Amino acid sequence: MYIGKKAESRELGQISREDVSVATRADIAKLAGVSESTVSYALSGKRPISEKTKNRVLAAVEELEYKSNYAAAALAGGLPRMVTMMTSNLFLTPPSRIDGALVDGIVDGVRERGFHSVIWPISNDDDSDVPVLLQLNFSGGVILMNVVENDPRVHLLNRKNVPFVVLGRTNVGFTYNFVDRDFEAVYTLALTKFKDLGHTQIGVLSADVVLNPLLKKIAAKLKLKLELLNCVNTMDGGAAVAKNFKKNHPAVTGIISLLDIAVVGFVNSSTNFGLSIPSDVSIIGVNMLEEQAVSSTPQISTIAFNAYEMAKSCGHIMVDSIEAGKNSKKKKTSELWIGDYMERDSTAIARGGK
């Protein structure tokens, strides 16, 4: 249903019949003098349609203000100018400011190239959502987020020759477009900084119930010991860790945080529990926005992460892939983002160090 501008300032019950258009494909077919199947082919681009017939369908679409499918708005170029962000349901897990920045970056990135975007929250049965999306045929390409190892969605999109970009990485045995952080470089940079400051026992603030394997590998190389500081990514979650920190982790002098909101909660509540930062413990955030880092007291040292710009680049790659065409032999694009160490008030030489 399309509600025209005349109806915008009225109460719902006052909308007149002439303000509302409920055109169907049958209406378009009748006005254009073609069959409904011809309308479908013109909208989807699945079969070649003569320019004259396509123009008649376009004229009927415009006249009837047909709004049921974004493909209709893209007919002039013969390409659905829509990108789908396929991600986990953002309402099922504790929020992260990074998630919002990533979505904003993708939206602006594809919009700069004349495309639009929509979020497709995936179900628990991840691989079942892609076939449904493909059947709807309104999207020119897919940006996959929250991928898992050997992600079946990547295999399916590649097999169906659908343009896609992965925001992250997964081992699938073939090349594909992706944008991700170089976590090995990020973790190495943070842990090396701790070592240079004399810290040997490092806490890992994380929502995971086990230590990150890559972090463990890097710490072992640097001869550093890690302790897991598990909590939910909320202000209260971080405060709960701070409350019992001295009792539960007396040997830890440095914290590498993989959480953006919990670490702010930890820092801001630390003085309430007799914990001094950085005198008692130094902190480096490796997965947070810079505006979050400078909003805490004291401000948090980080491996700077511009999630918005990274996601924006992902959007550009997505549009480039769509416009190159499904059968393009264009080399796949891969980007790894690191960031620079930003020293602030949350880091210092380890207590007892020189």
| Alpha-carbon span 140 to 85, nearest angstrom | 11
At 243-271, the pLDDT tens digits run 999 999 999 999 999 999 999 999 999 99
Contact 134, 127 (CB under 8 A): no
Q: Looking at the structure, do residues 139 and 87 belong to the same domain, yes or no? A: yes
Q: Looking at the structure, do residues 170 and 316 belong to the same domain, yes or no? A: yes
Give pTM, 2 decimals. Answer: 0.76
Domain containing 300 equals: 184-304
- Is 52 within the bounds of a domain? yes
23 or 139: which carries more pLDDT confidence? 139
pLDDT band at 140 (very low <50, low <70, confident <90, very high): confident
At 335-347, the pLDDT tens digits run 999 999 999 999 9
At 72-109, the pLDDT tens digits run 444 444 556 889 998 876 666 666 889 889 999 999 99
Q: What is the CATH number of the domain that holds 189?
A: 3.40.50.2300
Burial class (CB in 10 A: 0-12, 13-18, 19+), 76: exposed
| Alpha-carbon span 26 to 29, nearest angstrom | 5
- Is 354 within the bounds of a domain? no
Domain boundary among 11, 45, 77: 77
